Structure 1
Amino acid sequence: MAELHILGQLQCASNFEESTSLLCRYTFQTGPNWTIISGCPEGQTTSADPDHNKSNIWAHPIDIHYITKGIQGWPKLIVQVSCLDLLGRSWVVGYSCCSLPVAPGHHTLQVPCWEPVGTTLTERIRQYFLGGSHQLLQKDIINLGTDRFKLKTKSKGSVKLQIELILRNFTQFGVEYK
């Protein structure tokens, strides 16, 4: 069987408007032919306050090892960035999804995030005075994108991911990488 080993870290979040602590919940999603042999496909970083560059540095380690029978369903990373205020309240301030590169080696990815916004004046006034944000009820919209065109969204900051991809035995399945 072919093997994919993902090593690296969720480095930081940058250029988010929120001036409080941010944390990130993440999930690796794959197709049905992929099996995890070590590591955890989901997790959460610690919360971090922004520094002088408006970056929240997490340096959260990632170590996951898959085996597969083919490349269909190549892993995707789904992130959900949340804000944590001084009262301990938490709400989502950004969603994103990115496919991992298919070439082995070192990769640095900037994953741009977006957030749903209120469509009515009442929703925007409520959000302004009470805080928080609009949240998705169906998380499949993040990675499938089937109904995402119906959402009104705005761009947020980005999450930086540094990973090393190690591929083994993919040539047996006709996959060539250079």
Structure 2
Amino acid sequence: MAELHILGQLHGVSDFKEQSSLFCRYSLQTGPNWTLICGCSEGQTVSGKPDFKKSVIWAQPLNLHYVTKGIQGWPKLVLQVSCLDSVGRSWIVGYGVCNLPASPGYHRIEVPCWVPTAVTVTDKIRQYFLGGTHQLTQTDIVNLGTDRHKLNTQSKGSVQLDIHIVLRNFIQFGIEYK
């Protein structure tokens, strides 16, 4: 069987305008041909206050080992950046998704994030006075991309990901990499 090793870290986040602490929930989604041998495919980072550059460093380690019978359903990383205020309330301030690179070696990936926007005046007033943002009820929109064109969204900051991809035995399946 072909093997994929993902080693690296969720480095941090930048350009989010929120002043409260930020943290990230993440999960790696794969197709049915993939089996996780070692590591945890989902987790959560620590929370941290943005500095003067509007960035937070998480340095959340990633170490996963997959085996597969085919490349269909190549792993993708799904992110939810959340805000934690001084009262202890949390809400999602950004969604993001990226396909992991299929070429071996080091990769620095910048994942752009977005959030649904308030459309009505009532929603905008509620959001201004009570805080929080609109959240998705069906999170499949994030990783599948279906019906996302129907959403009104707003760009947010981005999440930086530093990873090393190690491939093994892919040549046996007719996949060449350089």
- Corresponding position of 1:38: 38
What SS does structure 1 have at the residue aligned with 2:143? helix
Structure 2 matches for 1:142-161, cutoff 5 A? Answer: 142-161=142-161
The residue type equivalent to 1:36 in the other structure is L
Measured after TM superposition, the shift of residue 145 of structure 1 is 1.1
Distance in 1, matches of 2:2 and 2:51, equals 41
Normalising by the residue count of structure 2, what TM-score does the alignment of the two structures yield?
0.99
Question: Alpha-carbon deviations, 1:12-57, whole Å to 9, x = none?
Answer: 0000010111000000000000000000000000001112211111
Q: Which runs of 4+ in 1 moved over 6 A?
A: none
- Corresponding position of 2:57: 57
- Corresponding position of 1:106: 106
Distance in 2, matches of 1:62 and 1:52, equals 27
User: Which blocks of at least 5 consecutive residues in structure 2 are unaligned?
Assistant: none
Distance in 2, matches of 1:98 and 1:25, equals 14
- Corresponding position of 2:81: 81
Question: Alpha-carbon deviations, 1:59-90, whole Å to 9, x = none?
Answer: 00000000000110000000000000001100
Residue 176 (structure 1) aligned with residue 176 (structure 2): yes
Distance in 1, matches of 2:20 and 2:14, equals 12
Normalising by the residue count of structure 1, what TM-score does the alignment of the two structures yield?
0.99
Distance in 2, matches of 1:58 and 1:165, equals 20
Distance in 2, matches of 1:100 and 1:169, equals 18
Question: Alpha-carbon deviations, 1:115-154, whole Å to 9, x = none?
Answer: 0011111111111111101000001000111111111000
User: Which blocks of at least 5 consecutive residues in structure 1 are unaligned?
Assistant: none
- Corresponding position of 1:9: 9
Percentage identity across paired residues of the two chains: 67
- Corresponding position of 1:91: 91
